[in-house]
Structures are given as C-alpha cells and as structure tokens.
Amino acid sequence: LGACIGFSGSVFTEKVQSDVLVPIIPLFWHSTDLHMQVMAARTFGALKIAVEKLTKLYSHPIPTLEPEDPYLKCPYPWSYTNSTGFIQQFSYDETQILRDRLIFFGETVGDAAGSKICMKFVRHYSPQAHEFCASKGNTPKLITYNSLPGGWNLVVMDALDIDNDCFPQRPGSYRLLSEISVLDRQPLKETITSLIQELHNHNDGYVHGDLQDTNFVVRDDKHFMLLDFDWAGLIQKTHYPMYVNRKDIRRPDGAWDGQKIVAEHDLDMLNYLFHPEQDVREPAAKHRRIFSEGSLMVI
C-alpha cells in the first residue's frame, strides 16, 4: 500500500492524555494531488518547529505541578471575552460533578458580584437558538460564546440552581423533568410546545434537535428551562451527529446519524415527553445505514 505517517502527542500527569495531532498522511500521493503534497509539507514543517521548541524546553529542568492542584482537572481557559471585548477572569469550583460531559462551574473574579457561571466546551453549538430561548426567559442567559483552538468553543452562561437531591425540592431550585411523573408534566405541555414552535419560526427557523426529558429543568412554580443546544441549528441545514442514541432514548424515525434535523422531529420528541404511551415508530430493524459519497444515509 505504501508508506504513511502521522503524529500524536501525550501529556503525562496523574493519567496519560494522548491525542492525534494530524491525520494519517499517505506518502504515495499522485503527482497531481497538490492538496496532499501541501498537507504533508506543512505537517513536516510544523514537526520541525515543534522538535526545536521541545529540545529547548527539555534542555532545562521542567517545573512540576503539585498533584493535589484541583485545576489539573479543569480546562485551561481562565477567562472569556464578552461582546464588548472585555476580558473577564473566572475561577473553577473545586468540585465538578459534570466534568465528564465537559460542563464546569465557577464564578467570575475581580468583579464585585462574583457571579456564578457555567462553562461548557463544545464542538458545535447554536448561540442563536440559545439566545432566542433566553430572551423568552426559558434558557439561562448566554454570557458569551468564544472560539478556541482546535475547533472547540467555550459557552459561558448563568449557572442554575439544580436540586438533584431527594424530594422535597429545595425552594427556588430546578429539578430535571425526567424526575417528574408524566401526570405532573401535563401543565407544562402548552408552554413548552409554544416555545419550540416560536423557535421554529424565529428568523429563518431553528430546531433544537435533542428535546429529551433530561434537557429540561422545572421549578416548583412550573417555570421551566431548556438546556443543551449542541445539536441546534437552522432548519434543513442542521444534521444529527454521529452515534445518536436510539437504544436508551426514544426518537423519531428520521433521527439517524447524519440525517437532517427537521421541525417535526422536535414536535415528536415533545409528544414522547407528554404522551409516552403513544408509540407509532417503525421497528428499528427496518433501517440500515449505508455510506455514499462521503455522507451517511439511512434507508
């Protein structure tokens, strides 16, 4: 087949973190494949620069971090830039119960209030859909949305007081809709459905794409908040990511990897929230996935 080359990098702390830095590059390209040749040349150029910097770094004693430093378990950004260009410093809480989902909590530093904030690190997000729902009072205020190196984005929003303990619910706090019985959910049906329909009609139209019960939180006065806009985007231009969970989560028939997210899918998901006894889906066995022209199809 010929020679190929690729590069990975590792960081050794309390556990080994290894990441692929570049894709595997074949070194047997066709003479007319200039794109592949440029990719290889830039990769070797970057490797040369990295080796020179690492050689200089390792020529001196390297300072070590104390193992008990809690910030080793949090991402590197300690600040964000707001819409006016102001750089706001923040700190991370010592305990991070959602770190495996790349969701972190902390508070702003240097301002008088010391506001509690939530930081989420995502590959894809729709700040437009988030801001619209926030304008209706049904999503935490979006403070900023910053692009980070490597294709990541930092979403900063107000932190909610979510009570995950046993009943009775702490006054003023929110509880996951998944912990509320179907009968007790019914008063929320009209207001939640209305919000989603307004989202579908906002500007060119947006979909949420993942309206499962764990993405809603409800206060004891029946005020709700909608979370998780990772899959959200413009109608007919937004697609489901890979590995859509259809085993543990009930989803519409068209909700498959790579397929378009349409408004009807959102409404079907809401119907499952309030009427779980209704199931008109086709058996999953009738669907099979095929790849064609670099895209995923379901037939």
Whether the per-residue pLDDT at 295 is higher than 70: the answer is: no
Query: What is the predicted pLDDT for the residue at 1?
Result: 53
Output the average pLDDT for the chain.
88
Decide if pLDDT at 283 tops 50.
no
One-letter amino acid at 287 equals: H
Predicted pLDDT of residue 245: 96
Going by pLDDT thresholds of 50, 70 and 90, the confidence category of residue 223 is very high
Quick check: 235 pLDDT over 90? yes
**How much of the chain is helix, strand and coil, in % rounded to 5?**
30, 25, 45
Question: Which residues have a Cβ under 8 Å from the Cβ of 190 and sit 6 or more positions away?
Answer: none
Q: What pLDDT shows up at residue 70?
A: 53
Using the predicted structure, report yes or no on whether residue 73 has a pLDDT greater than 90: no
pLDDT tens-digit series, residues 20-31: 988 899 988 888
Closest CA to 87 of 141, 146, 150: 146
**Preceding peptide of 70 cis, ω within 30°:** no
Enter the pTM of the model: 0.79
Tell me which residue of 200, 192, 198, 183 sits closest to 218, measured CA to CA: 192
Q: What is the pLDDT of residues 154-209, one digit of tens each?
A: 999 999 998 876 667 777 899 999 999 999 999 999 999 999 999 999 999 999 99
pLDDT, one tens digit per residue, over 117-152 is 999 999 999 999 999 999 999 999 999 999 999 899
**Is pLDDT of 281 > 80?**
no
Select the more confidently predicted residue: 146 or 286: 146
Strands, DSSP E only, in 160-278? 174-176, 206-207, 216-219, 224-226, 233-234
pLDDT above 80 for 83: yes
User: pLDDT confidence of 113, banded at 50, 70, 90?
Assistant: confident
**DSSP of 26-53, one letter per residue?**
ES---TT-HHHHHHHHHHHHHHHHHHHH
The predicted structure's pLDDT at residue 101: 93
Lowest mean pLDDT among 157-161, 219-223, 268-272, 281-285: 281-285
Lowest mean pLDDT of 98-112, 134-148, 199-213, 238-252, name the range.
98-112
Work out the number of other CB atoms within 10 angstroms of the CB of residue 98. 11
293: left (phi over 0), alpha (psi -120 to 50) or beta: left
pLDDT of residue 71: 54
Per-residue confidence band for 32, with pLDDT thresholds at 50, 70 and 90: very high
Strand pairing partners for 26?
A: 4
Residue 292 has pLDDT above 90, yes or no: no
Contact 240, 261 (CB under 8 A): yes
The pLDDT of residue 65 is 61
d(CA 41, CA 47): 10
